[in-house]
Amino acid sequence: MTEDETNTPDGRDPSRLHTPVLLERCLELLAPAIAHDGAVVVDATLGMGGHSEALLDAHPGLTLIGLDRDTEALALAGARLGRFGDRAIRVHAVYDEIARAVREAGVTRIDGVLFDLGVSSLQLDDAERGFAYAQDAPLDMRMDQHAGETAAEVLATAPEGRLRAIFERYGEEPLAGRYARAIVAARREEPILRSGQLVELLQRATPAAVRDQRHPAKRVFQALRVEVNGELSVLERAIPAALSLLGVGGRAVIMSYQSLEDRLVKRELASRSTSTAPPGLPVELPEHRPEFRLLTRGAELASEDERARNPRAIPVRLRAAERMRDTR
């Protein structure tokens, strides 16, 4: 396939827009589960297809089901993965719809699943999507631009108490109450429609001592993005659903970029990899044995070299597990 055939109609080359995080480690962890003909892996966060392309190249007998809620990302991934034909199945779906996507592909069990959570490079780099507080743009923040409330709509309609709760829960923002009051007061004067407006408002509401320590908008923008896309509630449903689809020997690799996501992933994997035998039982019965075993000791980080090459790898936390017994 020529370079022109891997580009989208507007001339963009997906391979130059995004550098996959922890690519070699993901390939290494998934390989034992998918290195056979007929294997099926789900890339639950397809993005621009970097991890998927590497998986399909490394395993000629593999079929990959790639999910993404962002139609622009699906188009870019389609250009990148087109050379694999029907081995690459793209699905417009949120990742908590993984069971439906797998079923509609005619599959009952999968051999691997990969989650690369959070906002994608595509979304961050497109100023008009409104994800980045460093650039003035409409306050959209929807990963699927065809569905749901925008960030501007949340700011316009949410009561002060809800705004405070959003900033506290999803941004772990200590000034959540102050920011919520400032937003409610400001919107009485004019709608808050652009990221530049919101950043300026937050800066005015932040004590000078705090402004010197961190950017006032970082946690608020994260919280709004999580709220707009329902990221944590989706993840709470998606991880158990994905683990349940894995056959014995199947592996899950999950990369998180914020503490809220990582805590949720850690809790679910720990629960599935712990014996359910009652304390004091002399013999562990088969039905009490852990469903999974952990493949990483805690959360793995990107190397210093990778973080220097790709700054978006700096916050990553990778966890992985393998299914040991079938509970169905």
pLDDT of residue 234: 92
Please provide residue 143's backbone torsions phi and psi, each rounded to the nearest 5 degrees.
-70, -35
197 annotated among ligand-binding-site residues: no
CB 123 within 8 A of CB 68: no
133 annotated among ligand-binding-site residues: no
**Helix, strand, coil percentages, rounded to 5, for the chain:** 50, 15, 35
Separation between Cα atoms, residue 128 and residue 152, nearest integer Å: 13
pLDDT of residue 51: 95
pLDDT of residue 137: 87
Please report which residue ranges of the chain form alpha helices under DSSP H. Answer: 3-6, 14-17, 23-34, 50-58, 71-81, 98-104, 121-125, 151-157, 160-171, 176-189, 195-205, 208-211, 218-229, 231-245, 259-272, 304-309
pLDDT of residue 3: 42
pLDDT of residue 128: 56
215 annotated among ligand-binding-site residues: no
pLDDT of residue 262: 95
pLDDT of residue 64: 97
Give all domains of the chain, ordered by start, each with its CATH number.
3-116+231-323 (3.40.50.150), 128-229 (1.10.150.170)
145 annotated among ligand-binding-site residues: no
Q: Which amino acid is at 287?
A: E
Separation between Cα atoms, residue 308 and residue 314, nearest integer Å: 8
Q: Mind listing the pLDDT tens digit of every residue in the chain (328 residues)?
A: 444 444 444 544 555 556 799 999 999 999 999 999 999 999 999 988 999 999 999 999 999 999 998 888 899 899 999 999 999 999 999 999 999 999 999 999 999 999 999 765 555 555 555 567 778 888 888 887 777 889 999 999 999 999 999 999 999 999 999 999 999 999 999 999 998 999 999 999 998 878 777 888 889 999 999 999 888 999 999 999 999 999 999 999 999 998 889 999 999 999 999 876 677 666 666 666 889 999 999 999 999 999 999 988 999 999 999 999 887 6
86 annotated among ligand-binding-site residues: no
CB 138 within 8 A of CB 130: yes
95 annotated among ligand-binding-site residues: yes
Tokens coding 19: 């550098």
Tokens coding 128: 């008009």
- pTM score of the predicted model: 0.84
123 annotated among ligand-binding-site residues: yes
Please provide residue 115's backbone torsions phi and psi, each rounded to the nearest 5 degrees.
-120, 125
pLDDT of residue 148: 80
CB 235 within 8 A of CB 117: yes
